[in-house]
């Protein structure tokens, strides 16, 4: 299928006001695209003013806001009309208890079906880029195992009683992983059957990097927990294992590169994770990096539960290990250094007034 460029027509982004979606929009506008930014309420400045501001940022591309809702059939018909590419970023998330596990699952699966129906109606879409997740890749594996794009979350689940559709209503992690796996395979099947467009997926892991708006803090997200550490609070997410970090700017840039790449074909997928071991951090390494980047702040570290964990296991669990080698090799992605990612995450949290840092007392 021919690739997409800024001259082949506009491209549409679902979930455009979100953390990842906003960076996808920005990456496209930097490359001169006309972007149809799909949001649930274009009249809500709290969620859209950071997008509108991109039109005044000196970027070569242009942005137009469109109203659309994942759960409304046909709501993407208008924004997708005339588009040569669609980047489907939007999905129902469980952060802060906004959606229960069933709503997360149904929102992803049913919402993606609605998006695909509008893609087929539009007729001119050449490439469909789907924001999946590492949750569709990760599966039970020995410590130190290095995941890649050939892995699927359904692998090695024979003894996993939780990997069961009957668990969707009670287990948010299972609901999210099953939804991402099912939708990723759904978009591939749909594109193959239609024949007019290719479907390509990206699978981000721990996404950090600059926030463009206060709405990107998302209670319970990785960036929210990093903000808690800058408040001097202990890390309460992922402390037993590794934070495998990808920069949100790299997630956005990779999707723009996918639109234009001749290396992509239907069913291609790209794991977006750490560049190398420098981006795979246990809680002690994470605290050490943040302390060096923000020397005047008393950065929180491991929670009290870590003592018992170390006594039992000796060290944090050596997982997940995963690198974005394929994206760097095939797409030419130039990934950000981990210290830059951590610095920009923390600094924008502070600058946006989302975090009041725990400043050290002066001697």
Using one digit for the tens of pLDDT, what is the confidence trace for 51-104?
Answer: 999 999 999 999 999 999 999 999 999 999 999 999 999 987 766 667 888 988
Q: What is the DSSP letter of 14?
A: E
Q: Residue 89 sits in a domain of what CATH number? A: 3.40.50.720
Mean pLDDT for 282-308 is: 98
Sequential DSSP letters for 236-293:
-SSTTS-EEEEEHHHHHHHHHHHHH-SS--TT-EEEE-BSSGGGEE-HHHHHHHHHHH
Taking the model in full, what pTM does it have?
Answer: 0.97
Classify residue 193: in a domain, yes or no: yes
pLDDT on residue 6: 86
Residues 6+ apart with CB under 8 A from 277: none
Closest CA to 306 of 240, 354, 355, 223: 240
pLDDT on residue 108: 93
Classify residue 311: in a domain, yes or no: no
| Other beta carbons within 10 Å of 209 | 26
Q: At what angle do helices 222-230 and 338-351 cross, to 10 degrees?
A: 70
Classify residue 259: in a domain, yes or no: yes
CA distances from 318 to 31, 216, 310, 325 (A): 38, 29, 13, 19
Using one digit for the tens of pLDDT, what is the confidence trace for 225-272?
Answer: 999 999 999 999 999 999 999 999 999 999 999 999 999 999 999 999
Residues 6+ apart with CB under 8 A from 316: 239, 240, 241, 242, 282, 283, 284, 309
Kindly tell me the sign of the dihedral angle through the C-alpha atoms of 172, 175, 177, 179.
negative
Q: What is the DSSP letter of 234?
A: P
Query: Taking the chain, what is the end-to-end CA distance rounded to the nearest angstrom?
Result: 65
Classify residue 175: in a domain, yes or no: yes
Total tally of structural domains belonging to the chain: 1
- The enclosing H or E element of 64 equals strand 62-67
Classify residue 40: in a domain, yes or no: yes
Classify residue 166: in a domain, yes or no: yes
Query: In which domain, by residue range, is 130 found?
Result: 11-208+245-276+321-335
| Other beta carbons within 10 Å of 356 | 12
């Amino acid at each position: 299928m021919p690739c997409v460029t800024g001259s082949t027509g506009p491209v549409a982004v679902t979930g455009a006001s979100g953390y990842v979606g906003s960076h996808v929009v920005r990456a496209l506008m930097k490359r001169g695209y006309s972007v149809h930014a799909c949001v649930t309420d274009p009249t809500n400045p709290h969620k859209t003013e950071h997008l509108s501001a991109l039109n005044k940022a000196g970027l070569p591309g242009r942005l137009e806001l469109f109203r659309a809702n994942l759960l409304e059939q046909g709501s993407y018909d208008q924004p997708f009309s005339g588009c040569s590419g669609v980047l489907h970023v939007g999905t129902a998330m469980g952060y802060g208890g906004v959606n229960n596990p069933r709503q997360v699952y149904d929102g992803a699966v049913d919402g993606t079906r609605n998006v695909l129906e509008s893609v087929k109606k539009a007729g001119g879409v050449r490439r469909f880029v789907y924001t999946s997740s590492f949750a569709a890749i990760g599966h039970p594996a020995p410590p130190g195992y290095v995941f890649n794009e050939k892995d699927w979350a359904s692998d090695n689940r024979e003894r996993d009683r939780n990997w069961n559709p009957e668990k969707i209503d009670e287990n948010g992690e299972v609901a999210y992983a099953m939804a991402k796996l099912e939708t990723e395979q759904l978009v591939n099947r749909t594109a193959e059957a239609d024949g007019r467009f290719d479907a390509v997926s990206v699978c981000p892991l721990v996404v950090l990097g600059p926030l463009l708006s206060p709405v990107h803090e998302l209670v319970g997200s990785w960036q929210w927990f990093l903000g808690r550490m800058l408040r001097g609070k202990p890390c309460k997410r992922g402390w037993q294992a590794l934070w495998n970090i990808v920069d949100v700017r790299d997630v956005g840039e990779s999707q723009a590169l996918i639109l234009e790449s001749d290396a992509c074909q239907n069913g291609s997928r790209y794991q977006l994770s750490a560049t190398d071991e420098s981006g795979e951090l246990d809680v002690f390494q994470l605290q050490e990096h943040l302390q060096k980047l923000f020397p005047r702040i008393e950065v929180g570290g491991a929670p009290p539960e870590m003592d018992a964990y170390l006594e039992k296991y000796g060290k944090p669990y050596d997982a997940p290990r995963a690198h974005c080698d394929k994206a760097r090799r095939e797409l030419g992605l130039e990934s950000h250094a981990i210290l830059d990612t951590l610095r920009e995450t923390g600094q924008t949290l502070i600058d946006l007034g989302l975090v009041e840092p725990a400043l050290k007392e002066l001697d």
